[in-house]
């Protein structure tokens, strides 16, 4: 959890963990209580920074030069907080390292690690072969 609900904080985390990631392009996934539209990522982040009761979630990822498959999530809450999350390819110690780094950047003593199993497949046929009910 961040001490600051700011675009600057989001940028700091992005630059630390996935430097050079591309700006998200439209499809801003948040529940706006207004009919506003946004021209770019910076404008939606500034809006969420200023509109303290507005909820919003934005995710970033980067395919190249991202060995640990890091993805960033910025969760703007309706009570004026900003929670930043990292998704990484876990190996038992890597996630602890990243959580410590993230909490340090944010000046926070609150954080959690949770685990999800990502699907692994090469194509549709591989998916069917691995995950079909016939292959339990």
Average pLDDT, stretch 12-39? 77
Element at 105 (helix H, strand E): helix 94-106
Domain extent at residue 55: 7-135
| Res. 117 pLDDT band, cuts 50 70 90 | confident
Q: Hey, CA dihedral for 36, 39, 45, 49, is it positive or negative?
A: negative
SS3 104: helix
In a domain, 54, yes or no: yes
Angle at 69 between CA 65 and CA 71, to 5 degrees: 105
The reported pLDDT for the residue numbered 30 is 57
Look at residue 9 and tell me whether its pLDDT is greater than 90: yes
Say if 18 falls within a structural domain.
yes
What share of the chain has pLDDT > 90, as a percent?
Answer: 43
Instruction: Report the mean per-residue pLDDT for the chain.
Output: 86
Query: pLDDT at residue 25 above 80?
Result: no
Split into its structural domains, the chain has a count of 1
Does the pLDDT at position 81 exceed 90? yes
Whole-angstrom Cα distance, residue 92 to residue 47? 37
Q: Is residue 1 situated within a structural domain?
A: no
Cα separation, 75 vs 111, whole angstroms = 14
Instruction: Let me know if residue 107 belongs to a domain.
Output: yes
The answer to whether residue 2 is domain-embedded is no
Look at residue 92 and give its three-state secondary structure. coil
Question: What pLDDT, in 10s, does the model give residues 50-74?
Answer: 999 998 888 898 888 988 889 999 9
The residue whose two tokens read 């780094």 is 101
- Asked if the structure places residue 72 within a domain, the reply is yes
Average pLDDT, integer, range 127-131 = 85
Q: Where are the beta strands (DSSP E) in the chain?
A: 56-61, 71-76, 82-87
Give the pLDDT band (50/70/90) at residue 122. Answer: confident
């Amino acid at each position: 959890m961040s001490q600051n609900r700011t675009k600057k904080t989001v940028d700091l985390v992005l630059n630390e963990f996935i430097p050079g990631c591309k700006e998200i392009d439209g499809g801003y996934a948040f529940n706006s209580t207004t009919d506003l539209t946004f021209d770019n990522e910076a404008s939606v982040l500034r809006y969420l920074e200023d509109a303290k009761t507005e909820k919003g979630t934005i995710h970033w990822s980067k395919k190249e030069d991202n060995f640990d498959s890091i993805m960033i999530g910025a969760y703007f809450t309706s009570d004026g907080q900003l929670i930043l999350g990292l998704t990484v390819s876990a190996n038992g110690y890597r996630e602890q390292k990243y959580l410590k780094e993230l909490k340090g950047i944010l000046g926070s003593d609150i954080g959690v690690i949770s685990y999800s199993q990502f699907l692994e497949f090469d194509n549709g046929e591989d998916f069917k072969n691995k995950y079909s009910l016939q292959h339990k």
